Structure 1
Amino acid sequence: MSDKNMVLGLSDVPKLSQWLIFSIQHLFAMFGATILVPFLTGLSPAVALVSSGLGTLAYLLITKGQIPAYLGSSFAFIAPIISAMAIGGAGGVMIGSFLAGLVYGVLSLLIGTFGTGWIIKVLPPVVVGPIIIVIGLGLAPTAIDMAMNVDGEYSAIHFSSAIVTLLITVIGSLLFRGFFGLIPILIGIMGGYIYSLIVTVSSGEKIIDTSGIQAVWHNIINSSSIGEVIQSIFLVPEFVIPFVNYNPAEVFSWSIIWMMVPVAVVTVAEHIGDQMVLSKIAGKNFLRKPGLHRSILGDGVATMIASLLGGPPNTTYGENIGVLAITRVFSVFVIGGAAVLAILFGFIGIITELIASIPTSVMGGVSILLFGIIASSGLRMLIDNQIDLGIKRNLVISSVILVIGIGGAYINIPLGDVDITIAGMALSAIIGLILNLVLPDKESGYGNGQMFAESDDQ
């Protein structure tokens, strides 16, 4: 891929008006998933927004502004967080999260010391391509559930809003030109929101819940002084800070540690997969420059920052990778702008309520396209590297990875009173790596060897 395919390169600074719109588009793309994790686990959505913004800024700094990745709440930690909350509350969760982030730091040190050459050798295109497909299609049930269902029950009206959102986004991606051609996701979300609002008003079916917006607005207009107005607009999130809201020594639990820390090893595999997706989309080898050790360290630091504030662990987001693939806007300044907006929105009550009022079905409609693009990037990797699936070795490896990853296979490893579960993409990646190492004719798995052939020049 050449730089001419980029609308904005990594270090390009957009015009101020475009900068804001591009950043808002990334904010919208990550918002639903970022606040969904705290909703499911009992943590604060506003804190999750603030911690994701701070974590992303730290990530951009650590990676020298060379990887356009946004970090948000990690879905991999949902089950461990729920279990840990029952044992040590939010404080216990934060200790486990901090130590999970520390694992990233240790792995970063090891990779920085021994290099990434071994990673490239054990991750040929025949393994990486199917793993990327699994990353995208593994999220497919989430997108469809968001689009079709309400509390687990099918809703035709909600599904219609998802379809309208998807159609507007697709049409915008294919037909819009100029500036509007660069923000199809944002236009799709706005179009889906307007449609949902019309349906809510005309049919009485409550697709959009605006009660939160109305409550904040009521407080603003009924304020009797400027101070009360400011107090109504700006709300301090419910941070969970060590030695302020809890004593780490009192909530520490080895059970929580064993629940949460091993998950970091699994999410590292997801991180590497995301870096490969980004490398393929941007035409850069981010594993070599600025280096996998820097990106993993950035991910770990972001998670540790979140743990000091009361937010869930962070990870790079597939939704935002999909935005990059569609818009071709790779500027890290746009990503940084989205991070700053996320921090601000975490403190502004009415904006938080406005974005939170976006129907889940609308976000599901956009996610159908974004997650599909990730999967298609894996398929493209197989094609670009001319992987011959007529060779039985390649066919076996790719088939096993796809079925195990998408099928939801998992293994439980008993460790005292706790079972460590390795499932989905992580399990498929591990099995794919093993098959690649033990099966003969390894050269066929590299195809034409173009997987990491793109220039590292900026």
Structure 2
Amino acid sequence: MSKKIGIHERPVLHKWIVLSLQHMFAMFGATILVPKLVGLSPAIALLTSGIATIIFILVTRFQVPAYLGSSFAFIAPILLATSTGGIGSAMIGAMFVSLVYALTALVIWKTGHQWIMKVLPPIVVGPVIMVIGLALAPVAVDMAMNIDTNGDGLRDTYSMLHFSAALVTLATAIIVQLFFRGLLALMPVIIGIIVGYIYSVIIGIVDFTVVKSAKFFQVPEFLLPGIDYEFTITSQLLWIMVPISIVTISEHIGHQLVLGKIVNRNYIENPGLHRSLIGDGLGTFVSALIGGPPKTTYGENIGVLALTRVFSVAVILLAAVFAIIFSFLGQLMAVIDTIPAPVLGGISILLFGIIASSGLRMLVESQVDFGDSRNLIISSVILIIGIGGAMVKFSEVFHIEGMALASIVGVLLNLLLPKSPPKTES
């Protein structure tokens, strides 16, 4: 086993650079995939991931070696918000999500963290996480096997040639996940995308036009409120985006617990859950302010920490700096823009499935008893409302639907349904 490097230690320069690059590449594939799926700039996603990580480390007083990347939980809400009010609406919604983080952190600071575990138990969070993955299944499959032949933005024609690129990408990611060892096993997404991309070049479905015109150094495409879009707040927008914070706050708590076990520290107590939530929320706010997707701490990078036993915050900081530098490499970002939809669809089949399965895993590991009618009712209602796209419509402009409605209903059911009496042995 390699020698442990502590939180406040700094490796020698050459090792420091290599270890930081490992962290950057561990998050790279998933972080650029989110903006590709929702119509944002991959360069801005990289830039804001670096900025958000630095903010998080500063707020947590250089005690938590966590990297922040693009959140998959907000893919469906961003797509929905964009379809109703443009991409600017999604950015405004993300800013209000960060406000929820701040308010939650304030309450936790004043009252402790025990209450939030009662509001968001596994029987609520698990099914909602499953909804996130399963509701995105049609998006992944559509990207994997259908193409736009009419130029109207609709993928309405099946293509086995394009689907083969998705299958190659998917197969590569699965093989890496199952059979590779060491750091490579932590990067199935980026390796799958690279192999799928090479295959796509071979079969002739990659257009390099944008790469030829790209500059080596290029400023990312910022989206600024009041300049690139109107700063408009609607109740519908808030109901689309804000309830998803129920899931991401739960995810945040889970990551802090796991990370604390790896580095042998209690991050819920010190620097405190309120500080890490504020760091996460500020990262999301700054990201949305300049056109990036919402942020979350990344499991991939927690995996790298566990494998290398290098817990140095300095390593994470340098990884964030590398991400910022890479975001200004215009030709690299142009190559990312040429990644065909089937390649993204193929990797999304795996990633969205893993999201859904992680919700199921939470239920299993938490030993949720489905022989209890109360648990069965809560999970069943969340799943069908979320995946089925149920809607509560108050007016033409104010309605709650899908994942947001499922999250709210799940919390209410958990708070209102009477607890089942304890079982007695006959």
TM range (shorter): 0.7 to 0.9
Query: How does the TM-score come out when normalised to structure 1?
Result: 0.73
Pick the aligned partner of 1:126 from 102, 112, 123. 123
Paired position in structure 1 for 2:173: 169
After TM superposition, give the deviation of residue 397 of structure 1 in Å: 1.9
Query: How does the TM-score come out when normalised to structure 2?
Result: 0.78
Partners of 1:164 and 1:102 lie apart in 2 by: 41
After TM superposition, give the deviation of residue 31 of structure 1 in Å: 0.3
Larger displacement relative to structure 2 (284-293 or 30-39)? 284-293
Q: Which digits, 9 at most, give the CA deviation of each residue in 1:223-277, with x for residues without a partner?
A: xxxxxxxxx421223445579x58x9xx55xx53545455553232131242255
Partners of 1:165 and 1:341 lie apart in 2 by: 26
On the 8 A contact 1:304/1:313 being kept in 2, the answer is: no
Partners of 1:375 and 1:292 lie apart in 2 by: 26
On the 8 A contact 1:159/1:361 being kept in 2, the answer is: yes
Unaligned runs of 5+ in 2: 149-154
Paired position in structure 1 for 2:216: 233
Q: Which amino acid aligns with 1:209?
A: D
Paired position in structure 2 for 1:27: 28
Pick the aligned partner of 1:340 from 288, 306, 321. 321
* Percent of aligned pairs with the same amino acid: 42
Paired position in structure 2 for 1:144: 141
Paired position in structure 2 for 1:278: 255
Partners of 1:375 and 1:8 lie apart in 2 by: 34
3-state SS in 1 of match to 2:398: strand
Pick the aligned partner of 1:210 from 196, 208, 211. 208
After TM superposition, give the deviation of residue 349 of structure 1 in Å: 0.8
Paired position in structure 2 for 1:428: 406
Pick the aligned partner of 1:265 from 216, 225, 242. 242
Q: Which digits, 9 at most, give the CA deviation of each residue in 1:294-335, with x for residues without a partner?
A: 3442343223323543x1452327xx5467569955966676
Count residues in correspondence.
399
Structure 2 residue 374 is the aligned partner of structure 1 residue 393: yes
After TM superposition, give the deviation of residue 352 of structure 1 in Å: 0.5
3-state SS in 1 of match to 2:207: coil
Partners of 1:325 and 1:178 lie apart in 2 by: 10
3-state SS in 1 of match to 2:371: coil
3-state SS in 2 of match to 1:166: helix
Pick the aligned partner of 1:55 from 52, 56, 76. 52
After TM superposition, give the deviation of residue 374 of structure 1 in Å: 2.7
Partners of 1:405 and 1:265 lie apart in 2 by: 15
Partners of 2:267 and 2:340 lie apart in 1 by: 35
C-alpha spacing 1:188/1:112, structure 2 compared with 1 (3 Å): same
Paired position in structure 2 for 1:419: 398
After TM superposition, give the deviation of residue 199 of structure 1 in Å: 1.3
Partners of 1:289 and 1:150 lie apart in 2 by: 51
Paired position in structure 2 for 1:181: 185
On the 8 A contact 1:70/1:335 being kept in 2, the answer is: no
Q: Which digits, 9 at most, give the CA deviation of each residue in 1:387-412, with x for residues without a partner?
A: 22122222222222222222222323
Pick the aligned partner of 1:68 from 50, 63, 66. 66
C-alpha spacing 1:434/1:267, structure 2 compared with 1 (3 Å): closer
C-alpha spacing 1:57/1:263, structure 2 compared with 1 (3 Å): farther
Structure 2 residue 296 is the aligned partner of structure 1 residue 316: yes
On the 8 A contact 1:9/1:329 being kept in 2, the answer is: no
Q: Counterparts in 2 of 1:372-411, with a 5 A limit?
A: 372-411=353-392
Partners of 1:195 and 1:327 lie apart in 2 by: 32
On the 8 A contact 2:173/2:188 being kept in 1, the answer is: yes
Partners of 2:365 and 2:90 lie apart in 1 by: 43
3-state SS in 2 of match to 1:256: coil
C-alpha spacing 1:259/1:398, structure 2 compared with 1 (3 Å): closer
Partners of 2:321 and 2:422 lie apart in 1 by: 46
On the 8 A contact 1:108/1:296 being kept in 2, the answer is: yes
After TM superposition, give the deviation of residue 164 of structure 1 in Å: 1.2
Q: Which amino acid aligns with 2:68?
A: Y
Paired position in structure 1 for 2:416: 438
Partners of 1:37 and 1:17 lie apart in 2 by: 31
Partners of 1:9 and 1:114 lie apart in 2 by: 31
Structure 2 residue 280 is the aligned partner of structure 1 residue 303: no
After TM superposition, give the deviation of residue 98 of structure 1 in Å: 4.7
Q: Which amino acid aligns with 1:435?
A: L
